[in-house]
Chains A and B, each alone.
Chain A
Amino acid sequence: MYLVKVYVTLKKGILDPQGVTIRGALEALDYKNVREVRTGKYMELELDAPTAEAAREEAAEMARRLLANPVIEDYRLEVEEARA
């Protein structure tokens, strides 16, 4: 079994209204040095697959089809071996 960590973020250059709002709040807390905040989603998949490479490939397909919207989002995967 593999643990796949999926990070979904808005593509560079796409306005992130939540990030903008959080940056404003940080500024109000006197953190004047934050240039930008980008938000995203984090998901963990516990996945049965023969190899780590197979787990990665299948998770990538899931990300393209459902977990991320390729029009506005990018995804990044981390694959770890996990005990069943």
Chain B
Amino acid sequence: MKFGVVVFPGSNCDADCYHAVKNVLGVECDYLWHEDTDVAGYDAIILPGGFSYGDYLRTGAIARFSPIMAAVADFARAGGLVLGICNGFQILLEAGLLPGAMRRNVGLSFRCEFIHVRVENADTPFTGAYRPGQVLRLPIAHGEGNYYADPETLAALEAGGQVVLRYSEPDGRISEAANPNGSLHNIAALINKEGNVLGMMPHPERASEAILGSEDGRGIFTSMLRYLERRRGR
């Protein structure tokens, strides 16, 4: 099993993701340069957080045209697992691999804190290790996590179970107060219709070990590994 972490100019969570996969999960992992044009041989690709290309123009707008993104799109179309975290989520939206767009946070603050999310769909390759309705305590760190999609798209996302994580109170109640950025329907994570591309604003790699204050994020990575092992065993 082999994971790849893409490094864009301005990525700053690449080392954290690499550590979570390599040392916490114990799985082979490589850094992939944004100018690479091939992701053959990898079982999962992670687009890490950060500020690719300085967030110039729009978050993720320039990174989506990196040479490697064409390979990542092909990889996704072929059923490969793609996880976009924070800026990685923004890149997936700009690339059209997930629907919708991000706006500036309501209140304009850059929100850097622990929040809670409720697992809305535990039947995905990224959340299989969680219980439906489980509440996770995860850190966020972003200025543009205010998710928008038009009403038809939003309805389709809800009907298809594509909203995977929702900002919630610690007890799992969904409220406006628990929403750190104004995101529609408190959306914190989305999956594509095919179920192999996930974008999430919280940082699971920063919450995968007790020393980091939470281990709730590790389940994202263990879910992916479990799914891939099962798929390989078939």
Contact = CB atoms under 8 A, between A and B. Distances in A.
Interface stretch (B101-109, B172-180, B195-203, B211-219): B101-109
Interface in B90-106: 93-94, 99-101, 103-106
Contact of B182 (A15, A69, A71): A15
Contacts of A67: 57
A15 B182 CA distance: 10
A14 B149 contact: no
B228 interface: no
Given A67-B57, A69-B58, A71-B101, A14 B65 contact: no
Of the candidates A10, A14, A67, A71, the one having the most CB atoms from chain B within 10 angstroms of its own CB is: A71
B57 A14 contact: no
A20 B106 CA distance: 9
Q: Which of B65, B93, B101 has the most CB of A within 10 A?
A: B101
Given A66-B57, A67-B57, A17 B105 contact: yes
B101 A17 contact: no
Given A69-B101, A72-B101, A18 B148 contact: no
Given A66-B65, A67-B57, A69-B94, A14 B148 contact: yes
B108 A71 contact: no
Nearest to B181: A17
B182 A17 contact: yes
A66 B103 CA distance: 16
Interface residues of A, number: 13
Interface string A62-76: 000011010110000
A66 B95 CA distance: 10
B103 A71 contact: no
A17 B65 contact: no
A51 interface: no
Interface residues of B, number: 20
Contacts of A10: 103
A21 B148 contact: no
Interface in A8-61: 10, 14-18, 21, 41
B186 interface: no
A17 B148 contact: no
B157 interface: no
Nearest to B144: A17
19 contacts: A15-B146, A15-B148, A17-B103, A17-B104, A17-B105, A17-B106, A17-B107, A17-B146, A18-B104, A21-B108, A66-B57, A67-B57, A69-B61, A69-B94, A69-B101, A71-B93, A71-B99, A71-B150, A72-B103
Interface of A: 10, 14-18, 21, 41, 66-67, 69, 71-72
Given A69-B58, A69-B94, 4 more contacts: A15-B106, A15-B182, A17-B108, A71-B100
